Structure 1
Amino acid sequence: MVETSVASANEALFRPVRAGNAFEETVERLLQAIRLGVVGAGERLPSERELAERLGVSRVTLREAIRALADAGYVESRRGRYGGTFVNENLPEPAQSKTREIDAAAFEDALCLRHVLETGAAEAAAARTLSPADRQHLKTTLAEAAAADLVDYRRKDSRLHLAIAEVTASSSLTTAMADARTRVNQLLDCIPLLEPNLEHSNAQHEAIVDAILAGDPVAARHAMAEHIEGTASLLRAFLS
């Protein structure tokens, strides 16, 4: 049976995910299993109950991840006695082949640079005594990102992240952030926008801005790190 081959092939693929980015990491684990052939084309994934238990996520989170992969063309759900979630016979073309070949070293370099710059920016912003204009700038860009539709989300999301760099009062950091964000956006443009991820990102954005406004550098850095790790999980899932 497929379930037996999945379990024996690599238990690590379906190990418990971290709570902070449960949806994103669930998508990553499922895609890894599909891409590595642990669950082959036309084969059925383990049951919803088994997957939820092994990944340590709620069934709601698991269903959102499966729905996202179905929308992206990787799996399909079938009803009935022999139903379940099946890997599609014809999988989507790897995203990078539709645009350009993505160099693995450059990919990881972009993610590493983003992590260092953005966590540092959040920490630095929270450590400053912000002016009323700075505080309003953060609140305004946060609200705009939260209200953005799918078409405009990437731009509004980028604007918020740049606003965090801007309130550090370091023009060099803001310039570096803009360059790093441009590189990351080129990668993000290669993967689909997933509604549950956007909702999760908006909640994380709020936590980041709240920590900055509260003057808590440790919390701001931690919240930003968690947010960036979620994005990195999705990029590795779709592009690695």
Structure 2
Amino acid sequence: MTDSPDAAQHGLLSAELLLRPGKTANAFEETVQRLLQTIRLGLIAPGEKLPAERELATMLAVSRDTLRDAIASLTEAGYVVPRRGRYGGTFVVDPVPRGTPVVDANGELRERRSVPASEIEDTLVLRNILEVGAVRQAALCELSGVDRERLWQALDDCSAAAPEEYRRHDSRLHLLIAELVGSPSLVPLVADVRMRVNELLDDIPLLAPNIVHSNAQHEAIVKAILRGHPDAAAEAMAEHIAGSEALLRGFLG
């Protein structure tokens, strides 16, 4: 098959699509990002202890020095606190600070004052692609009894959550759906977009009617997955995401 003259002249894809800086520049930034995701998405709850240093360094595939530097930054920013003694270790603070910090040029965590409109749009589009695709695939999977029970438990936890705990349990449910797909590459992508979505949601009020509506949509999503109905699961997730998007556009413009 020969290339078309127009394609050769103008190029179907620009090299600039990929020849650009990566999201994280070094192991320290990547480690801070993963720890922040683990904390802010509720995989380690407020008041709970992080894994031991040696174990955590192995899990993250970084040196213990890099891990210590990352934990020191999170400690300074108020996300974790060290405790000494027999039952000591590094613990997630309770409550977890609001907002999603970024690593600045000096390697320090700082809060962003605002999110550019272009980034908001990118986040909303990416979330729709990732999460609708993930839930469709999850509904096609043969789930074990344990995984089915995990889904029900995540749904129950979300429905019973107090308002101040709602986003943490909401995030856990969405991450679990991604995990059930069985693609190791998918979970970090969903975690990343979920962090971006939560950063936007933190800037708008969490209203009781919206929680009730969200819980009803969560139930529809989970039931469609468990019944093995991919189209219904994708439709329910798309409706759920559209509701969040409408709220964000209404409040953030």
TM bucket normalised to smaller: 0.5 to 0.7
Which residue, 112, 117, 120 being the options, matches 2:133?
A: 120
Match of 2:152 in 1: 139
Which residue, 199, 202, 227 being the options, matches 1:214?
A: 227
- Greater helix content: 1
Structure 1 residue 206: Cα displacement: 0.1
Structure 1 residue 137: Cα displacement: 1.1
What is the alpha-carbon distance in structure 2 between the residues aligned to residue 136 and residue 101 of structure 1? 39
- The runs of at least 4 aligned residues of structure 1 exceeding 3 Å deviation read none
1:184 pairs with 2:197: yes
Q: Equivalent pairs: percent with the same residue? A: 56
Gap regions ≥5 residues in structure 2: 1-110
Which residue, 116, 119, 142 being the options, matches 1:129?
A: 142
What is the alpha-carbon distance in structure 1 between the residues aligned to residue 169 and residue 207 of structure 2? 16
Residues 194-221 of structure 1: CA distance to partner in whole angstroms, max 9, x if unpaired? 1000000000000000000000000000
Residues 112-143 of structure 1: CA distance to partner in whole angstroms, max 9, x if unpaired? 11111100110000011111111111111000
1:165 pairs with 2:181: no
Structure 1 residue 171: Cα displacement: 1.4
One-letter code aligned to 1:186: E
What is the alpha-carbon distance in structure 2 between the residues aligned to residue 234 and residue 155 of structure 1? 19
Question: Normalization by structure 2: what TM-score?
Answer: 0.55
Match of 2:53 in 1: none
Structure 1 residue 102: Cα displacement: 2.3
What is the alpha-carbon distance in structure 2 between the residues aligned to residue 186 and residue 141 of structure 1? 22
What is the alpha-carbon distance in structure 2 between the residues aligned to residue 135 and residue 216 of structure 1? 14
Which residue, 82, 105, 109 being the options, matches 2:118?
A: 105
What is the alpha-carbon distance in structure 2 between the residues aligned to residue 127 and residue 234 of structure 1? 30
Residues 14-57 of structure 1: CA distance to partner in whole angstroms, max 9, x if unpaired? xxxxxxxxxxxxxxxxxxxxxxxxxxxxxxxxxxxxxxxxxxxx
What is the alpha-carbon distance in structure 2 between the residues aligned to residue 116 and residue 133 of structure 1? 27
Question: Normalization by structure 1: what TM-score?
Answer: 0.58
What is the alpha-carbon distance in structure 2 between the residues aligned to residue 188 and residue 99 of structure 1? 14
Gap regions ≥5 residues in structure 1: 1-97
Match of 2:238 in 1: 225
Residues 135-158 of structure 1: CA distance to partner in whole angstroms, max 9, x if unpaired? 111111000000001010010000
Structure 1 residue 99: Cα displacement: 6.3
What is the alpha-carbon distance in structure 2 between the residues aligned to residue 154 and residue 230 of structure 1? 15
What is the alpha-carbon distance in structure 1 between the residues aligned to residue 172 and residue 119 of structure 2? 24
Structure 1 residue 100: Cα displacement: 1.8
One-letter code aligned to 1:162: L
Counterpart secondary structure, 2:182: coil
